[in-house]
Amino acid sequence: MTAGVPFWKYYAEGNSYVVVDGADDVLDRVPDLLDPRRGLGADGVLVSRCARDGSVMLRIFNADGSEAPMCGNGARCVAALAISRGDADPERVVVRAAGGTVRHRLEDRRTMRMWATMTLATDPILDRTGSRVQCLVGTPQLVVFAAAEGFDLERDGRALERLHDGGTNVMFAVVDAPGSLTVRPWERGVGAVDGCATGAAAAVVAAAAAGDWPDTTRVRQPGGTIEVEWNARSRELGMRGCARLVAEGRVASA
């Protein structure tokens, strides 16, 4: 790996990421780079590139080295980085990943709070079986509605992530009230995490499909609360959250 690859470590509503700017040569070291003892410690590596049109191209790599098609919290982090470096318009930061395009608008520079929108190409609900709803919101998400003490995150998350072809994130959701959810996320390739923005959105989509649900939902996760708006007719998702720069530096050569 090239010596001295610049990195930025960001935190966003329960997730932490190591962001590298177009440095594909770090990809063979992802598990070591994210190891909390031998590396920088994070949930994933985000490889971002600013395109000529001002948009940001994003690739997401999990702690086990596998690639994910989309990450809502990760998209917010690279949008925050692009704004702070002056590479993007704070009123319209477009982040493009394999799983979709997310448009961000900066609302508060001090906290890097942003409103993000994502239009889904098709109906996000793939299957509903009892209390389980398989969704595709940028990346596969299995939403499991359960009582607050009705699941074991480690045991059930590990088992359920294999139910979908290629694997799926698993969101254990508790309905607190209409417009209010508590979600415990399990991410494929990572494990138990404190937040997942696309998973929070999937939980809202699944809850709204049952009927009698408001347009705006507050989703509580261990790492923070995300506000989600869902319009089933236009298939447009809105998400509000923050991003915080934790550290920056250079990754030493292997």
How does DSSP assign 121-157, residue by residue? SS-SEEEEETTEEEEEESEEEEEEE--TTS--HHHHH
Asked if residue 192 is part of any domain, the answer here is: yes
Give 169: exposed, middle or buried? Use CB within 10 Å, 0-12, 13-18, 19+: buried
Cβ neighbours for 113, distance < 8 A, ≥ 6 positions apart: 106, 107, 240, 241, 242
How far apart are alpha carbons 192 and 156 in whole angstroms?
Answer: 11
pLDDT exceeds cutoff 90 at 4? no
Same domain, 104 and 151: no
Asked if residue 144 is part of any domain, the answer here is: yes
Average of per-residue pLDDT across 194-206: 97
Asked if residue 152 is part of any domain, the answer here is: yes
Cβ neighbours for 12, distance < 8 A, ≥ 6 positions apart: 73, 74, 76, 77, 195, 197, 241, 242, 243, 244
Asked if residue 165 is part of any domain, the answer here is: yes
Same domain, 99 and 166: no
Same domain, 86 and 138: no
State residue 220's pLDDT score. Answer: 97
Same domain, 37 and 133: no
Give 45: exposed, middle or buried? Use CB within 10 Å, 0-12, 13-18, 19+: buried
How far apart are alpha carbons 113 and 90 in whole angstroms?
Answer: 11
Task: Give the rounded percent of residues in the chain with a pLDDT score beyond 70.
Answer: 98
Same domain, 50 and 155: no
User: Which residue type sits at 119?
Assistant: T
How far apart are alpha carbons 65 and 81 in whole angstroms?
Answer: 23
Asked if residue 236 is part of any domain, the answer here is: no
Same domain, 100 and 144: no
Asked if residue 45 is part of any domain, the answer here is: yes
State residue 133's pLDDT score. Answer: 97
Q: How many folded domains does the chain comprise?
A: 2
pLDDT exceeds cutoff 50 at 29? yes
State residue 1's pLDDT score. Answer: 41
- Place 13 in a pLDDT band, splitting at 50, 70 and 90: very high
Q: What are phi and psi of 22, to 5 degrees?
A: 70, 20
Average of per-residue pLDDT across 112-138: 96
> 209-219 burial, b if ≥16 CB within 10 A, otherwise e?
beeebeeebbb
Q: What domain range includes position 223?
A: 125-230
Same domain, 217 and 131: yes
* pTM of the predicted structure, to 2 decimals: 0.94
Same domain, 82 and 139: no
Asked if residue 102 is part of any domain, the answer here is: yes
Asked if residue 235 is part of any domain, the answer here is: no
- For all residues of the chain together, what is the average pLDDT? 94
Look up the CATH number of the domain holding residue 46: 3.10.310.10
Same domain, 104 and 9: yes
How far apart are alpha carbons 212 and 153 in whole angstroms?
Answer: 28
Same domain, 166 and 112: no
Average of per-residue pLDDT across 136-165: 92
Q: Specify the range with the lowest mean pLDDT, choosing from 24-33, 82-91, 191-200, 228-237.
A: 24-33
State residue 123's pLDDT score. Answer: 96
Same domain, 86 and 22: yes
Same domain, 166 and 107: no
